[in-house]
Chains A and B, each alone.
Chain A
Amino acid sequence: MPPMSYNPLLLLFLAAGLAAAPGRAAEGETWKIHPEDTVKRRTSEMEMYKCSDCHSETADFNPNERVLKDEHDDKRVHFGEEKGENEWCFSCHKQGNYNRLKRKSGKELGFNQSYVLCGACHGEAYRDWKLNIHGRRVGFWNGAGKIASCAECHDPHDPAFKAMKPEKPPAWPRGKKKRRTVQGNGE
């Protein structure tokens, strides 16, 4: 029996273990419900992507927190100044490379992997999203599906899910006298 450190079987196990360890590449793969699932891309939905079309990479903007007045003033950061919290644009956007987001550590992230950034703070929702308990997945329950990323439903600059107008109520049963419903109508 050769010594343990040179045992080819052990080396094989080690190699397999390293490959399966969570890393940036694996983030997008191993958690999927089905191996052929795709997360819908954000870059095709964003109006002003690519940011570098306007902002050159060498531009360094004022890194101090403030309310923006001229451009991008419609972006209310979700930990807004009204709440007294301390996140603002450059908490998530990368200064110097505006086509990218950044994590707290400074590591860059593409807009199509923005769910990793959301998940860094919203861990429970991220865990549930990966398991398809939170969020939307359409397609096949036993096959490939398309998963909506966080930003598709929650605008990162104003994340609360918006109220919407409901569809028509069902027709009042024929022959039944119309009365005020239990909860009232029309508001």
Chain B
Amino acid sequence: MANKKQPEKRLEEKVRNRLKTPVDRRVFLKRFLQGAALLAAGFPAKSEAFSWKDFFQKHYKEMTAEDKKRIFARIERETKKRLGVSVTLKDPPPLDGVEYAYCLNLSKCIGCRRCVYACVRENNTSRDPEIQYIKVLEMPKGSLDVEEGDIYYDAKKVPREGKFYMPVQCHQCTNPPCVKVCPVEATWREKDGIVVIDYDWCIGCRYCEAACPYEARRFNFATPALPPAEINPDQSYLSNRIRPRGVMEKCTFCLHRVREGRYPACLEACPTGSRKFGNILDPKSEVRRIIEEKRIFVFKEELKTHPRFYYFFD
């Protein structure tokens, strides 16, 4: 049977025949109205009734205070409905005269990964598929060649003989390649140095992920799955609120914490005190002192990203 053997040809024939036959006005109207009715019925309120205002939500930088209030309230409602958890969405503005810097002491880091999981808990990242902002590289002593590094190390005890550990997360570059390549300006560098993402503006093209030399950007391939009991309810619009599927996310130096003067979660979790954080513009801060006096190095310095993350040896 010729038709069975060549299904494409059969389909082609069918389409051609269809295109040739003229459509009756009556038939056309009937079909059109049926389709429209189906469409309208097919918009059951998954979370909320459809709102044109929300569909055309503005970019964060263009939002008025009123817009923000409305949008944050909507997000809080939706989170409550979807996950049964009451969260508060904040929007702390950048502090004046502050630019954050992070220093990490490679002589002290033992690669215990407490920072990785503290970050996951603080920032409400997906557990399945697993998203972790911080990658800890186990490197052999004597070389800073990351080709020799390994993020999947699994040891009984760390630090292992002959190894040193280098955690990598978003460096909040002053010349960020991710910001340059974003086609919709969903990511930008704030006044205090933190590179942020408007999750509702991001289209999920992942150009920024390709552009980042530190592999700091993460993409939500699926709707983030996280146990409601582990959700951190102190959230902020630009940092740790629960992301939808199909958008990028990354370390924000715990923007919701540092803009209120607190330390990032990774720093507080570190048992060896290898992580140091502060205001690089304050001449008396410890980060300034470390940068001025200790043996620091900048990861992938040749790419001129000018990051605000400095590794040092003690």
- A residues near B, CB below 8 A? 33, 128, 131-143, 148, 153, 161, 163-172, 174, 181-183, 185-187
Rounded to whole Å, the gap between the CB of B86 and the closest CB of chain A is 26
**Is B271 within 8 A of A141, CB to CB?**
no
Q: How would residues 45 to 73 of chain B score, 1 for a CB under 8 Å from any chain A CB and 0 otherwise? A: 00000000000000000000000000000
- Cα A131 to Cα B277 with chains together (Å): 13
Q: Across the interface, which residues of B come within 8 angstroms of A33, CB to CB?
A: 286
- Given A133-B290, A141-B258: A165 and B156 within 8 A (CB)? yes
Q: List 27 A-B contacts (CB under 8 A).
A: A131-B286, A131-B289, A133-B286, A133-B290, A133-B294, A134-B314, A136-B271, A139-B262, A140-B261, A140-B262, A141-B258, A141-B285, A161-B272, A163-B158, A164-B110, A164-B157, A164-B158, A164-B271, A167-B114, A169-B153, A170-B116, A172-B152, A181-B153, A185-B154, A187-B155, A187-B156, A187-B160
Q: Across the interface, which residues of B come within 8 angstroms of A133, CB to CB?
A: 105, 276, 286, 289-290, 294, 314
**Is B261 within 8 A of A141, CB to CB?**
yes
- B residues near A, CB below 8 A? 105, 110-114, 116-117, 129-130, 132, 135, 138, 140, 148-160, 163, 258, 261-263, 267-268, 270-273, 276-279, 285-286, 289-290, 294, 314
How many residue pairs at the A-B interface have CB separations less than 8 Å?
Answer: 110
Q: Across the interface, which residues of B come within 8 angstroms of A167, CB to CB?
A: 112-114, 116-117
Rounded to whole Å, the gap between the CB of B128 and the closest CB of chain A is 9
- Given A132-B286, A141-B277, A142-B279: A163 and B263 within 8 A (CB)? no
- Cα A170 to Cα B113 with chains together (Å): 10
Q: Across the interface, which residues of A come within 8 angstroms of B157, CB to CB?
A: 163-165
**Is A174 within 8 A of B129, CB to CB?**
yes
**Is A166 within 8 A of B276, CB to CB?**
no
- Cα A132 to Cα B290 with chains together (Å): 10
Rounded to whole Å, the gap between the CB of B203 and the closest CB of chain A is 23
Among residues of B, the one whose C-beta sits closest to the C-beta of A142 is B261
Rounded to whole Å, the gap between the CB of A171 and the closest CB of chain B is 5
Rounded to whole Å, the gap between the CB of B97 and the closest CB of chain A is 11
Q: Across the interface, which residues of A come within 8 angstroms of B114, CB to CB?
A: 167
Rounded to whole Å, the gap between the CB of A6 and the closest CB of chain B is 38
Q: Across the interface, which residues of A come within 8 angstroms of B163, CB to CB?
A: 183
**Is B263 within 8 A of A139, CB to CB?**
yes
- Cα A99 to Cα B260 with chains together (Å): 40
- Cα A140 to Cα B257 with chains together (Å): 9
For A33, A141, A172, A181, the residue with the greatest tally of chain B CB atoms inside 10 Å of its CB is A141
**Is A170 within 8 A of B135, CB to CB?**
yes
Rounded to whole Å, the gap between the CB of B45 and the closest CB of chain A is 33
- Cα A136 to Cα B105 with chains together (Å): 12
Rounded to whole Å, the gap between the CB of A15 and the closest CB of chain B is 26
- Cα A128 to Cα B276 with chains together (Å): 12
